[in-house]
Chain A
Amino acid sequence: MRLFKFFLTLLFTLVLIYTLNNGWNIKGTPIPPLGKFLDPFHGFWQNAEDSALPYPESVELNGLSAPVTVQYDSLYIPHIFAQNTNDLFTAQGYVLAQHRLWQMEFQTYAASGRISELIGSAAVDFDKLQRRKGMVYGAEKSLNSMQENTELWAYVTNYAKGVNQYIEELSYKDYPLEYKLLNYEPEEWTPLKSALLLQYMIDNLTGWDMDLENTNAYNLFGAEIFKKLYPNYTATMDPIAPSAQNWEFEGVEVTETPDSINLSNNYYSEVHTMPDPDNGSNNWVVSGWKTESGKPILASDMHLGLNLPSLWFLIELSAPDYNTMGFALAGNVGIVSGFNQNNAWAFTDVSRDERDWYHIRFTDESRKEYYYEDTKLKTSLKVEEIKVKGSETIIDSVIYTHHGPVVYDRNFMSEDGENNLALKWIGHYPSRVQEALLGLNTSKSYQDYLTALEYWDAPAQHVAFASTSGDIAIRVQGLWPNKFEDQGRFILDGSQKVMEWQEFIPTNHYAFLHNPDRGFVSSANQHSVDSIYPYWQGWARPDHYRGRRINKILAAYDSGTIKPDDMMQLQLDSYGILSQEILPTLLDSLKKNGLNSDTTYMALRNWDYVYDHQEYAPVAFISWWSNFKSLLWDEMKIDSIAIKQPTDYQTIYLVKNGIPGSFEDNKATSRKETLNDIIAMSYDSMKMSLAQWSESNTGKLTWGNYKHTAVTHLARIPAFSRRNIQVNGEDDVVNSTKGNHGPSQRIVVEMTSPPQAWAVIPGGQSGNPGNPAYDNMLDAWRDGKFFKLNFMQNQKSAQDVLLNQTLAPSAE
């Protein structure tokens, strides 16, 4: 009896410990291992930090050839001083891991479709899509191209060594918080993970198209109306590299052009999730003759999802012939966007269509072959094993054709098995941007910038450039097939050779501006070139507003007047051209009684088109506009057919110049509406929507509250996110800030010798929610403030920095 009691108690104790030592999933809510997690000696408590720089003063690292010093300034920015570039990148890997290990790894899990492993079945569809898009397939190609360059390969492997030595130092107690919460351990870092991070960015910037919706719209409305609703070039354009200059080349003819596009008659009911269409950026450079100092000024802000830990990491990298400061990604070698003693460079995305879909006809159910011209081609099969936390592993079979992986098929978003669509994507070509970036890091002249960019392929970017010698430039850089007109705007026939991508546009035919007479270059994702440019371009989601606003303001400055502060103010500009171009029309067409005593109407009449977070008018306008569009384009809301509304720009153009077809008529009513009816009806719907908002929300109906900007934790953990950030701006204004998306960094660089720079990020340097530097810059970002960067160039004495960290070669 006694022994029985003992074993019973022992068993109970062991079960208790087992329960508390393991993670559980209760009704879909993951529970961390409570004993481990809540233990103040090892659990989450140990991640609370009273200093922003809780890092050791000396560290031993394998593989260093000489000591490296890392000095942290008052913004907690590390400045790495190494005696050679190999050591520099080992140190960079170590330092990034020290600050951002969890983020580094999580982003590569996301890239490769492994999130279900961490959070369970909620992420299975996401993971399937990542695998079906061939994210790893693309990353492996880039990895191979890295391997071909021995110098680069050494850098990438050294970086991995740095990361891995940080990982090896860790015990459970030191794990970043999210590992403890989600109950897993860091893996070894590999060069493939660096390539995956790159792939993640390529997908973010090129993983968008409207080919399925375009095909639907074309079939539904006919060619003539389609062209009016979705023109490839718009009436007003302010392209990045206008054709006022004569192109010094003749365009190369497209090798083969089909007689007709042969659109399939299929309708596509669903379109897979795509990156935010507003992923984009602003950048511009003004010439020295326009500035007060006589030196060029460069400005850059990149609009991406607003997340914590911050996407960007501020860092200075220094070694002989290497002295660069700027924004690095957690996981890539070197600096992405920044400046050195001579040059500064910055990116915006090129809104060209960089992926196409090919309709595949398999010969039979086995899907081992598909029709191509007069023959049959073999497919290959990639079996994807998706591990799912707390559930069984899911097997997904992805079929590869010579076009690319078949994303839509009977197992994914096309259940009838009719619409088998293979993805042809620039992201499946080896990317050499890592080489290009390192070239920019060490560039000393305009010529070096050109040389570095020869390697720049995907994602296509407008690369703005400024130098202390006075050069300013912008290049439209990427890798594009030379397409026949309308190629790839619709689903293409995968059995016809003529429909394929043929030659690429020769790189010496790319559009660019170098020291233009107008005294500035700028880009904001608008059309890169106009229709005179000798190659046909398919545009995806081009901007119509930010670019025009920026150009108008820059052009208006007299010579010798621009100060860095003016450029910071322009980044914060929240004036909406969209609202300026449509609101008066809407207001003038609104025929109702008692409008002069209607507070909403009067607020809109008196609005200055500035998206100020304290104002009510922007709320009323945005809601009215969105209600108006859904009434006008109600014909496009069809259950089983995916269609996108025309752009805001085109909608406004058509409202002013005549809407084709009978879109004005609202199908839900029996009478026949006119445009004015729609305007009045949508005004009423706006008032109803806003009344509903007020019922379900506390707080005043201001733009800031309505927009409800949030910077969310990467794994969507609410407690580690920051919500309801009262910030100005809207997606179509220069300060492009919306709900969960906006400027992921801002920087202004004046090209004095040495250059001076001011920057801010919506977060901080640390990836740890328990560190003061997790979100220490967020308020400044919200309020439009900047921090002056300390471009050290040379090592300082240890007393002059917050932390002087020595990475010494280990005596192995």
Chain B
Amino acid sequence: MKFIIKVILIAVLSYILQLLLPFWVVAVVAFVVNYAIQSSGWSSFFSGFLAIFLVWSIVAIIINSRTDSILTDQVAALFSMNSILITLLSAFIGGLVAGMGGLTARMLFTRKNKSSKYYS
């Protein structure tokens, strides 16, 4: 449950802040959320990763379908990929940055009892 709340929080906050700030703001958001809601390392990393992977891929897919893939195919070709792969690559990169932001927060506080990771 905590994990899902974190994912939603990171996704929503990042979406809003990204309208104004560069891509690395997702790391800051994931850091702050994971500092506020503390949990295990895995949960800290993947809450950020999943949230941004989803946000970025959904935004990319919406742009892609709205514009009839006009540019995605060309840029994908530049990377020797197809439009699905370039979408996944984009989402993965965003996810990785946010995931690391979350994990950094985890390293700031002392570990609670080990069992937390089973229900986070």
Q: In the complex, what residues of A have CB within 8 A of residue B89's CB?
A: 38
| A40–B110 touching, CB < 8 Å | no
Q: Which residue of A lies closest to B78 (CB)?
A: A719
The complex places the Cα of A366 from the Cα of B70 at a distance, in Å, of 58
Residue A249 is within 8 A (CB to CB) of chain B in the complex: no
Q: In the complex, what residues of B have CB within 8 A of residue A17's CB?
A: 24, 27, 97
Q: Which residue of B lies closest to A45 (CB)?
A: B63
The complex places the Cα of A43 from the Cα of B72 at a distance, in Å, of 12
Give the contacting residue for A40; candidates B24, B74, B90, B100; CB below 8 A.
B90
Contact residues, B29-69 vs A (CB, 8 A): 56, 59-60, 63-64, 66-68
Q: In the complex, what residues of B have CB within 8 A of residue A262's CB?
A: none
Shortest CB–CB separation between residue B55 and chain A, in angstroms?
8
Contact residues, A1-59 vs B (CB, 8 A): 2, 5-6, 8-10, 12-13, 16-17, 20-21, 34-36, 38-50
Given A9-B100, A38-B89: A44 touches B71 (CB 8 Å cut-off)? yes
The complex places the Cα of A16 from the Cα of B27 at a distance, in Å, of 10
**CB 8 Å contact bits of B63-104 with A (1 = contact, 0 = none):** 110111011101101100000001001100110110011011
| B67–A48 touching, CB < 8 Å | yes
Q: In the complex, what residues of A have CB within 8 A of residue B71's CB?
A: 44-45, 47-48, 177, 769-770
| B24–A35 touching, CB < 8 Å | yes
Give the contacting residue for A42; candidates B23, B60, B64, B108; CB below 8 A.
B23
| B22–A172 touching, CB < 8 Å | yes
The complex places the Cα of A680 from the Cα of B18 at a distance, in Å, of 71
The complex places the Cα of A491 from the Cα of B72 at a distance, in Å, of 53
| B97–A20 touching, CB < 8 Å | yes
Residue B1 is within 8 A (CB to CB) of chain A in the complex: no
| A38–B64 touching, CB < 8 Å | no
Q: Which residue of B lies closest to A34 (CB)?
A: B93
| B27–A6 touching, CB < 8 Å | no
Main secondary structure of the interface of B (DSSP, over half): helix
| B104–A13 touching, CB < 8 Å | yes
Q: For this complex, into which size category does the number of interface residues on chain B fall?
A: 35 or more
Residue B4 is within 8 A (CB to CB) of chain A in the complex: no
Q: Which residue of A lies closest to B23 (CB)?
A: A39
Q: In the complex, what residues of B have CB within 8 A of residue A43's CB?
A: 23, 90
| B107–A40 touching, CB < 8 Å | no
Give the contacting residue for B77; candidates A40, A719, A772; CB below 8 A.
A719
Given A41-B19, A172-B22: A2 touches B107 (CB 8 Å cut-off)? yes
Residue A429 is within 8 A (CB to CB) of chain B in the complex: no
Q: In the complex, what residues of A have CB within 8 A of residue B64's CB?
A: 45, 48
Q: Residue among A12, A35, A718 with the most chain B CB within 10 A?
A: A35
Residue A668 is within 8 A (CB to CB) of chain B in the complex: no
Contact residues, A326-354 vs B (CB, 8 A): none
Contact residues of B with A, CB < 8 Å?
A: 18-19, 22-24, 27, 56, 59-60, 63-64, 66-68, 70-72, 74-75, 77-78, 86, 89-90, 93-94, 96-97, 100-101, 103-104, 106-108, 110
Contact residues of A with B, CB < 8 Å?
A: 2, 5-6, 8-10, 12-13, 16-17, 20-21, 34-36, 38-50, 172, 177, 181, 717-720, 769-772
